[in-house]
Amino acid sequence: MLARRYVLKGRVQGVGFRHFVHQAANNLGIRGWVRNLEDGTVEVQAQGGSETMTRFVAEIRSGPSFAMVEDIQEDDVETEDYEEFVIER
């Protein structure tokens, strides 16, 4: 099980990005959360199997049609006991 934190920069707020990430995570069985940050970035904390996480990051890198991901900062984090993937407000 891998646990990672992603911070996505670019046009990632106001374009349905959190809902896109939520749907991608649920489709792949990823657990964790996504939220907007005050600086205009989006933060994701996700955990899943190695192959699944590779597919997940590829999907969120592309984003929804109106988004433009310019950069993704990726860090390993401690595994949590998440039961699902949620959108935090």
- CA distances to 14, 53, 64, 66, 69 from 75, rounded to whole Å, are 25, 13, 23, 26, 17
User: 18 an active-site residue?
Assistant: yes
User: 5 an active-site residue?
Assistant: no
The catalytic position among 5, 11, 36, 55 is 36
The catalytic position among 18, 27, 31, 55 is 18
Q: What is d(CA 22, CA 25) in angstroms, rounded to the nearest whole number?
A: 5
Which residues are designated catalytic? 18, 36
